Amino acid sequence: MFEFPKFSSASVKNDVLSGLTVALALVPEAVAFAFVAGVEPMVGLYAAFMVGLITSIFGGRPGMISGATGAMAVVMVSLVSEHGVQYLFAAVLLAGIIQVLAGVFRLGKFIRIVPHPVMIGFVNGLAIVIFLAQFGQFKEKVGIDDAGNNVYQWLGNTDLIVMGSLILLTMAIIHFLPKLTTAVPSSLVAIATVTLLAIGLDLDTRNVQDYLINMTGDVNATVQGSLPSFALPDVVFSLETLKIILPYSLILAAVGLIESLLTLTVIDEMTGTRGRSNKECVAQGVANMTNGVFGGMGGCAMIGQSMININSGGRGRLSGITAALGLLAFILFASNIIEVVPLAALVGVMFIVVLGTFEWASFKVMRKVPKHDAFVIILVTVVTVLTDLAIAVFVGVIVSALVFAWQHAKHIYASSTQPDDEHKIYRLHGPLFFGSVSNFLELFDTKNDPKDIIIDFADSRVVDHSAIEAIDTLAERYIAVGKTLHLKHLSPECRQLLKRAGDLVEVNMIEDPNYKVVTDTLG
């Protein structure tokens, strides 16, 4: 299932430079998500490194970036607060096992059933979430309230002007530099330029170290650390522990796979290539299992960083590998470099990501597509912003399925002919399933029909057990008035469905020698 990455000389430069750009953007993201989950910053940084490295080497989508994410962090909060970080490591380990099993049993293919309107809503919702998340960088902690919660306030006017100007400069460099040269990723040039400008002019603007101090309250806070070390979660491996972590593990596994596979699909569309969803499930699972025993908070694919990578020219596995190893290098050897990067530069990069991620064409599309598709786009976008990705996707798929069922329920109809006084033939059109059974039963006139009624299924299909029950109900109605029902031209699949139903279909037990459940002998 696994294959080691293959590199071409033409792509190495782009992959390395785009990977370094992503590594710079990963630091504040990983720290922020660690605080969301209620764990130490290094737990988030370790997760970003381990998840990013393993999925880049073994995953099913070259160029996709994985790391610690907010979607999974919000699930972890209550577990960490109630039971501690060791239970989080155990839950992440179990979630990884579940994800591996999902890949082994090839469940990743089910991402293909997600309708396109849900995909558009997912992308738009995540773009808005990324955009809103950046506003936290415009605030600073000023204390703690009586309930023990951190209190933040907006930066002063001068600080806001300086930060806003640097953000605009970053965005301008990213936008205009590719028109001059594509030799190096514009995002990396923008970050380097703004950093040197801030240092050279001694601008009073917050950098990564200021962010760490503001988040932790520790004036000595740093991203410097050591290599993660192996240690099994310090919990009692018992049924009681399993009861505690299993619900969290299932949610973490589901959220991680949904976000990863949807991000994979988005990148597929952007690059015109196709990733391997089941392979990605296994890689995500192995990465989270590794996190569980090396002190990381786990993670999944990150659409924001993936967009940075793709837009910077990163297409191969080397880009993700470089991002992960670059992040580790910052932690081990170059914390003093990464800590002086202005937050404005990283916010500017993320704003460009937002502009590139949001499907602006959806405004035009929604005026042309059916109203229910437009509704699903808006619904998924809103639910993504208000809750989380997993709930939004589930809601979108369910609503799309219900709309589909409702639309097709109205498509069933029948044309009838009566060759003689003893026989009447109904030629059924459209699928017979749970949504259309009511309309199906209304098509027949049991009281006035002749003795033998034939339903021709040449242009119809029996889809589910509700359809079988509807046929059974119709047969009983005709038998009750002394008439016989015959079914004709059922497809092999329909025949098999009726055969499997067996005794579940009451009509099979009616003692009427003339009644036939399935026959092609008439007509």
Q: Which residues pair with 453 in a beta bridge?
A: 424, 485
DSSP state of 207: B
DSSP state of 155: P
The answer to whether residues 126 and 303 touch, using CB atoms and an 8 Å cutoff, is: yes
Separation between Cα atoms, residue 415 and residue 427, nearest integer Å: 5
Per-residue pLDDT of the chain (523 residues), as tens digits, is: 445 445 555 578 889 999 998 998 888 778 778 877 878 889 999 999 999 999 999 999 999 999 998 778 878 988 998 999 999 999 999 999 999 999 999 988 887 788 889 888 988 987 888 788 788 888 877 777 777 677 778 888 899 999 999 999 999 998 998 888 877 778 888 989 999 999 999 998 988 888 888 777 778 888 888 899 999 999 998 999 999 999 999 989 988 998 899 899 889 988 888 899 999 999 999 999 999 999 999 999 998 889 889 988 888 999 999 999 999 998 899 888 888 989 898 888 888 878 887 888 888 888 888 888 999 999 999 998 888 777 888 899 899 988 888 887 878 999 999 988 888 999 999 889 888 998 999 999 998 999 889 888 888 888 888 888 888 888 889 888 988 888 888 777 666 766 665 544 433 333 333 333 344 433 3
Separation between Cα atoms, residue 225 and residue 241, nearest integer Å: 30
* Nearest to 336, CA basis, from 202, 199, 227: 199
The answer to whether residues 177 and 349 touch, using CB atoms and an 8 Å cutoff, is: no
The sheet carrying 484-488 orders its strands as: 413-417, 423-432, 452-462, 484-488
Find where tokens 């924001």 sit. 304
Q: CA-CA distances (angstroms) from residue 487 to 406, 465, 477?
A: 26, 16, 15
CATH fold of 413-509? Transcription Regulator spoIIAA (3.30.750)
DSSP H or E segment with residue 152? strand 150-154
Q: What is the pLDDT of residue 40?
A: 84
Pairing of β 300-301 and β 413-417: unpaired
The answer to whether residues 177 and 189 touch, using CB atoms and an 8 Å cutoff, is: yes
DSSP H or E segment with residue 456? strand 452-462
DSSP state of 421: S
Residues sharing a CB contact under 8 Å with residue 89, sequence separation 6 or more, in sequence order:
233, 291, 292, 293, 295, 296
DSSP state of 139: E
Separation between Cα atoms, residue 48 and residue 56, nearest integer Å: 12
Q: What is the pLDDT of residue 502?
A: 55
* Nearest to 293, CA basis, from 237, 248, 231, 372: 231
Integer-rounded Cα Rg, in Å, for the chain is 29
Separation between Cα atoms, residue 22 and residue 419, nearest integer Å: 74
Separation between Cα atoms, residue 382 and residue 379, nearest integer Å: 5
Q: How many residues does the chain have?
A: 523
* Nearest to 69, CA basis, from 292, 348, 304: 304
CB atoms within 10 A of CB 103: 23
Tally the C-alpha atoms within 13 A of residue 210's C-alpha that lie toward its C-beta.
Answer: 15
Backbone angles phi, psi at 433, to 5 degrees: -145, -175
The answer to whether residues 93 and 50 touch, using CB atoms and an 8 Å cutoff, is: no
Could you give the angle at the alpha carbon of 81 between the alpha carbons of 75 and 82, nearest 5°?
Answer: 100
Q: What DSSP string runs through 372-402?
A: HHHHHHHHHHHHHHHS-HHHHHHHHHHHHHH
Separation between Cα atoms, residue 523 and residue 513, nearest integer Å: 19
Could you give the angle at the alpha carbon of 172 between the alpha carbons of 159 and 202, nearest 5°?
Answer: 35
DSSP state of 503: G
Tokens of 495: 């025949």
The answer to whether residues 122 and 393 touch, using CB atoms and an 8 Å cutoff, is: yes
Q: What is the pLDDT of residue 317?
A: 93
- Mapped to the 3 state alphabet, what secondary structure does 340-359 carry? CCEHHHHHHHHHHHHHHHCC
Q: Where along the chain do its domains lie?
A: 10-357, 413-509
Separation between Cα atoms, residue 392 and residue 400, nearest integer Å: 12
The answer to whether residues 301 and 264 touch, using CB atoms and an 8 Å cutoff, is: yes
Find where tokens 């976000």 sit. 259
Query: One-letter amino acid identity for 316?
Result: G
Tokens of 226: 């050591």
| Distance between start and end Cα atoms, the chain | 54
